[in-house]
């Protein structure tokens, strides 16, 4: 009996007794232990799974936040891309217009066939240099008519003098106009002399220009500038008169180079639309040397300007 376990169960119908042997008790103990271990392991495993689920949930929330951030970044980048595409399209249109305009300028300057194989920057530099050279020459060398005249009454060269009747060399051109017609400086310069007189050239004015050029105006009515004054191209300098040895109101107009009179007509007909005209008409002047000198000066100024602009561009970037 020591190795047996007696279990009694009482009820209204009486009592029942069960006897469990030692081997069976061990079996129940082992089963109970295994159930306990299984229960304990199940609790640990469920707790592990719950932790994993929570971690996965946190990771999912983090991924969702990153996804939202990425979507916001993508939307911002799309907006920036659209802006850059619009900017690129606008710049492309501007470059196209600039290239077309450059072609027109090159054609006007006579450079369309000479430098058409250069890149855009080189073409712009060449056009800038040529344009600057032409502008400089047309402002500093006499060009265009100094007044609005009715007709040319006498040419440059040999002629019969209208008063003395003999053959004399006419050092300029006579331009008939009404008394008081305004006369304008054909180029920048400085007034070298203002001489009132009733004989010969009458009231006379002379302007010294750049590069060895000078202009002389005779038979004037009124002076509008004084000796030593600096004048700009297009500035009012005098009015037409009939003073001195003159038979009617007109302007006697001379152009000098190195104090030697040359035909003013070529310079009166000279402007931006026929820039090469004066080179062919007045061959006594070494135009190539002058143009080369001005191109060198403008090129150096352009190079200096580009060097000065470079640091400011780096700072702005």
What pLDDT, in 10s, does the model give residues 29-46? 788 888 888 888 888 888
CA distances from 286 to 46, 289, 292, 293 (A): 105, 6, 10, 11
Q: Are residues 79 and 168 in the same domain?
A: no
Q: Are residues 49 and 183 in the same domain?
A: no
The answer to whether position 181 is within a domain reads yes
- Let me know: does 142 contact 219? Beta carbons within 8 Å: no
Q: Are residues 98 and 151 in the same domain?
A: no
CA distance 257 to 232: 19
The answer to whether position 231 is within a domain reads yes
Q: Are residues 221 and 99 in the same domain?
A: no
**Residue 225 in this model has a pLDDT that exceeds 90:** yes
- Let me know: does 18 contact 4? Beta carbons within 8 Å: no
The residue length of the chain stands at 317
Q: Are residues 170 and 260 in the same domain?
A: yes
Residues 6+ apart with CB under 8 A from 222: 180, 203, 238, 239, 241
pLDDT for the residue numbered 105: 52
The Cβ of residue 285 has, within 10 Å, a number of other Cβ atoms equal to: 17
- Let me know: does 134 contact 180? Beta carbons within 8 Å: no
Most confident of 31-45, 62-76, 176-190: 176-190
Lowest-confidence range among 8-17, 80-89, 251-260?
8-17
Lowest-confidence range among 109-123, 132-146, 220-234?
109-123
Q: Are residues 150 and 48 in the same domain?
A: no
Q: Are residues 200 and 252 in the same domain?
A: yes
Q: Are residues 156 and 237 in the same domain?
A: yes
Q: Are residues 271 and 179 in the same domain?
A: yes
Most confident of 40-44, 54-58, 125-129, 228-232: 228-232
Count the domains in the chain: 2
The answer to whether position 120 is within a domain reads no
> Which pLDDT band, with edges at 50, 70 and 90, does 317 fall under?
very low
The answer to whether position 63 is within a domain reads yes
pLDDT for the residue numbered 212: 95
C-alpha Rg value of the chain to the nearest Å: 52
**Residue 178 in this model has a pLDDT that exceeds 90:** yes
Structural domain containing residue 239: 141-284
What CATH number does residue 224 fall under?
2.70.70.10
The answer to whether position 307 is within a domain reads no
CA distance 172 to 297: 33
pLDDT for the residue numbered 313: 44
Q: Are residues 162 and 275 in the same domain?
A: yes
Mean pLDDT over the full length of the chain: 82
Q: Are residues 165 and 273 in the same domain?
A: yes
Q: Are residues 101 and 164 in the same domain?
A: no
The answer to whether position 122 is within a domain reads no
Most confident of 75-84, 231-240, 243-252, 275-284: 231-240
């Amino acid at each position: 009996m020591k190795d047996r376990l007696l279990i009694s169960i009482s009820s209204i119908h009486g009592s029942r007794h069960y006897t469990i042997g030692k081997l069976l008790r061990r079996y129940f103990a082992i089963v109970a232990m295994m159930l306990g271990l299984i229960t304990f392991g199940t609790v640990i495993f469920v707790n592990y799974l719950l932790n994993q689920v929570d971690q996965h949930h946190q990771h999912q929330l983090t991924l969702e936040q990153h996804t939202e951030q990425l979507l916001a970044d993508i939307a911002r980048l799309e907006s920036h891309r659209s802006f850059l595409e619009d900017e690129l399209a606008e710049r492309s249109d501007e470059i196209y217009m600039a290239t077309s305009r450059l072609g027109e300028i090159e054609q006007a300057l006579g450079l369309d066939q000479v430098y058409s194989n250069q890149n855009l920057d080189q073409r712009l530099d060449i056009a800038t240099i040529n344009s600057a050279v032409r502008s400089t020459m047309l402002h500093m060398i006499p060009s265009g008519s100094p007044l609005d005249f009715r007709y040319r009454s006498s040419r440059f060269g040999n002629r019969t003098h209208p008063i003395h009747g003999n053959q004399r060399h006419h050092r300029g051109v006579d331009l008939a106009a009404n008394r008081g017609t305004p006369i304008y400086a054909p180029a920048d310069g400085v007034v070298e002399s203002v001489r009132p007189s009733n004989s010969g050239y009458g009231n006379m004015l002379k302007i010294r220009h750049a590069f060895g050029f000078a202009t002389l105006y005779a038979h004037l009515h009124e002076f509008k500038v004084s000796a030593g004054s600096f004048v700009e191209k297009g500035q009012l300098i005098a009015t037409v008169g009939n003073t001195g040895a003159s038979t009617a109101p007109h302007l006697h107009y001379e152009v000098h180079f190195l104090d030697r009179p040359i035909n003013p007509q070529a310079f009166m007909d000279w402007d931006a639309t026929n820039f090469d005209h004066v080179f062919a008409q007045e061959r006594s002047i070494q135009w190539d040397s002058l143009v080369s000198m001005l191109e060198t000066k403008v090129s150096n100024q352009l190079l200096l300007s580009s060097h000065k602009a470079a640091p400011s561009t780096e700072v702005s970037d």
